[in-house]
Amino acid sequence: MSLKTLYKAPDELMANSVKDLLEQDGIPAMIRSFQVPAYDGIARMMRPNWGEVLVSETDLDRARELLESFLARGSAACEDTDTGPDRDEGGCPGE
């Protein structure tokens, strides 16, 4: 079984969210972290991503479809949020 990178995650939360999404749909997934705990963030300077989500090559196409749908829903939610002064910060990418 050959594993392929499906998604390069910006943080641990997104890596686990994508992995859970895939597994709920019956697609086994694995997370590979690029972090080295003893160096506390130094690995982050060398690689801009926290880690990656891997899936079997045979599941890659279906996993991509699920991921694209998931990320599109997140983008649509960010576009629909209130941008007024009472809105909580940090809910969407780039904030």
Instruction: List pLDDT tens digits, range 6-27.
Output: 999 999 999 999 999 999 999 9
- Percent of the chain at pLDDT exceeding 70: 71
Query: 19 and 31 in contact (C-beta within 8 Å)?
Result: yes
pTM: 0.74
Q: Where are the domains of the chain?
A: 3-75
Instruction: Domain 3-75: state its class.
Output: alpha beta
Full 3-state SS string of 20-39: HHHHHCCCCEEEEECCCHHH
